Structure 1
Amino acid sequence: MNSSSYLSGTLLAIALGTVSATAHAGKTFDAVKSKDQVVCGVNTSAPGFSGADSKGEWAGLDVDLCRAIAAAVLGDAGKVKYVPLNPPQRFTALQSGEIDVLARNTTWSMTRDVSLGVVFAGINYYDGQGFMVPKKFNISSAKQLKNAEICLQSGTTSEKNVADYLTTHGIPYKSVVFDSPEAAHTAFFGGRCQVISTDMSELAGIRTQNPKADDYVILPDVISKEPLGPAVRRGDDEWFAIVKWALFAMQNAEEYGITQANVDQVKTDSKDPNIQRLLGTSEDMGKLLGLDKDWAYRIIKQVGNYGESFDRNMGEKSPLKLPRGVNNLWNNGGLMYAPPVR
């Protein structure tokens, strides 16, 4: 066969989806296997996303994603080291190799995506920025915040969002900036500022942790788009794919009705080709990621699907009791949409 015929045949095979390949998982995965541990950068002051209890047990939506990655690549969701990071530290820790994944309720923005040497691997929570104030002020709208002192976190998108919104509406204010979320929270509840502004989910979380939660109100104004998701270092496409598809596996599992409780039965009984590919009972999709065929089965069995993770960390089974809203699956009125496993 001449080179032209070979090239034509290869292009045709690619177009028809008949080329198969086994991926090498890349340098980050090699390092993960060597240390037998996934190192995840996380938040310590974002209830619902990540946090440790008195026994040192970590839980949260971002924590579950870290556990899903470990289940897929190391066979055990427990093989995760959690590294607490404040906003200014998080990208440096990822860039330097201190962590393998940044799963710290981090907003995917253009600046971060193209200028920091990192790449976002998906969205696991659609959020927006808002404001919380003491109820005694009788404020019902952000447009009533004239001359307010607003607690903000440095190294976040919050500062710019507040400036954009209030300046656009001609509302003077004073920003009071803190290096850590904990410091901003403490200052607000201590009366240092009349207002605190951050993601709506974080406002709901910190309010539930305050003994006088009913003394505070979250205003209805949502002033920004905050798509939150995991990030990895740019340049390791194989690791990027693994992290991305760990999230997609959880989302696809919810769409197909596969849970921790029924995954074994579904794996045995299902005749749906989509489910068979996901659970490794037909085509071996894991080899495309440098993994075995049970990579997604382990995620579901050990961690659960996306809906299960949301319910126990953010939803009705959690202290936050946040509605799914736009974080519902695409076929249930939301924005969560995972590419198919095929």
Structure 2
Amino acid sequence: MRHLHRALAPLALGLLAVFSLPAQAGKTLDSIKQKGQLACGVSTGVIGFSAADSQGQWHGLDADFCRALATAVLGDPNKVRWVPLGSQQRFTALQSGEVDVLARNTTWSLSRDAGQGMLFAGINYYDGQGFLVPKKLKITSAKQLKNAEICVQSGTTTEKNLADYFRAQNIKVKPVVFDKFEPSLKAFFSGRCQAYTTDASALAFIRSKEAPNPDDYVVLPEIISKEPLGPAVRRGDEDWFGVVRWVLNALVEAEELGITQARVDSLKTSPDPAIQRFLGAGDDLGKPLGLDKDWAARVIKTTGNYGEIFTRNLGADSPLKLPRGLNALWNKGGLMYAPPLR
């Protein structure tokens, strides 16, 4: 047994050395730095999440996350190459390396996380699927949609949830499936379908901004699914995954610590150790990620914290005016919770 211990000792020391090494930047991070640009996969136009305006400027919760990521890695929120992707294209684009990160109001599910070569870095919006119907039909519940034709986009969890929900209710409906968002809306508003189904956040926008007359339509009360939306990366590069995950966590942690876009500089003299660490005045939280010491402070100074991003894109300062709801901080009645940056 003594001989076995002696034989294993070099192996044990070797393993200890490996696990003691500091984290190194992964190949994706190196590539982004070499190119000087972050390739971000976004939607083809979902207001509140990622949509281009008439000047070609991208806005939304996901768009701002891409800016935050570019700021952390490249020091500039404008060094983003926007890659608009349809629901059918998005996973292939990520898997093939066409994009470095997918931030496209995409639901985190087991089959996607474990079966499509991708890793979700976290959740940036808790959503759920609902239904929009014309008021003139006098429908007050999804359970009244028997034999209804329902417009839905293909290649989404929405399509599967629709089938599952009505099968469980033993109600027959007729899905009318479209490859793209715009044709599905056009069909619904032209009367091709009696209902339209997608995430509740999108229904709020559709009703208020796309409907010919918003008062002619109503969102039904049922929420039939959990839709945790968040950014994803390819499997196989844990270092890049760590960067994406911690940039997302930093946005949430900053809100909890009271670090806002306007207060970043003034808080650098705060006596709070957590704020000191976050702003780069304490421990170096950039080195393990392959980033500089000031990355988190730079991100908040550029994009604001999670609450500020939510307010301008989805909340009170946006056309949608959605309540925080589940997307409030954990200590304010919501689910938003970040591991500590320390």
If the length of structure 1 is used for normalisation, what is the TM-score? 0.94
- Residue identity over aligned pairs, in percent, reads 64
Alignment map for 1:247-258 (pairs within 5 Å): 247-258=248-259
1:214, 1:45 → 2: CA distance?
Answer: 23
Aligned-residue CA RMSD (Å): 1.7
Deviation of 1:5 after TM superposition, in Å, equals 11
State the alpha-carbon separation in 2 of the partners of residues 6 and 147 from structure 1. Answer: 67
What pairs up with 1:1-342 in 2 under 5 angstroms? 22-210=22-210, 211-267=212-268, 269-342=269-342
Shift of 1:23: 2.6
Q: CA deviation at 1:45?
A: 2.9
What is the alpha-carbon distance in structure 2 between the residues aligned to residue 297 and residue 44 of structure 1?
A: 31
Residue by residue over 1:151-203, the C-alpha shift from the partner in whole angstroms, topping out at 9 and shown as x without a partner, is 01110001111111111111111010000111211111121111111110111
Q: Tell me, which stretches of 5 or more residues in structure 1 are unaligned? A: none
Provide the C-alpha distance between the structure 1 equivalents of 2:216 and 2:223, rounded to a whole number of angstroms. 21
- Look up the equivalent residue of 1:265 and give its one-letter code: S
CA contact (8 A) 2:154 2:177 kept: yes
8 Å Cα contact 2:45-2:52 kept in structure 1: no
Residues 258-291 of structure 1 show CA distances to partners (whole Å, capped at 9, x for unaligned) of 1000111001x21111111111101101001000
Write the distance in 2 (CA, Å) between the matches of 1:275 and 1:26: 28
- Does the 8 Å contact 1:276/1:282 carry over to 2? yes
Cα distance in 2 for partners of 1:148, 1:237 equals 46
Deviation at 1:7, TM superposition (A): 6.3
Q: Which amino acid aligns with 1:196?
A: Y
Taking the aligned partners of 1:100 and 1:310, their CA distance within structure 2 comes to 23
Measured in 1, the distance between the counterparts of 2:239 and 2:50 equals: 26
Whole-angstrom distance in 1 between the partners of 2:313 and 2:147: 36
CA offset at residue 134 of structure 1?
0.7
Distance 1:319 1:22 in 2: 46
Contact 1:132–1:196 (Cα < 8 Å) also in 2: yes
Q: Distance in 1 between matches of 2:25 and 2:207?
A: 42
Larger mean CA deviation between 212-221 and 250-259 belongs to 212-221
Runs of 5+ unmatched residues, structure 2: 1-5
Q: How far has the Cα of 1:205 moved from its partner?
A: 1.5
AA of the residue aligned to 1:181 = F
Q: Which amino acid aligns with 1:152?
A: V
Task: Report the Cα distance in structure 2 between the residues aligned to 1:291 and 1:22, rounded to whole angstroms.
Answer: 13
Whole-angstrom distance in 1 between the partners of 2:105 and 2:179: 17
TM-score by length of 2: 0.94
Q: CA deviation at 1:340?
A: 0.3
- Paired residues, number: 332
Distance in 1 between the 2:85 and 2:182 partners? 12
Distance in structure 2 (CA, Å) of the matches to 1:41 and 1:242 = 17
* Paired position in structure 1 for 2:3: none
Q: How far apart are 1:213 and its partner, in Å?
A: 1.5
- Check whether the contact 1:22–1:290 (CA below 8 A) recurs between aligned residues: no
User: 2:300 is paired with a residue of what secondary structure?
Assistant: helix
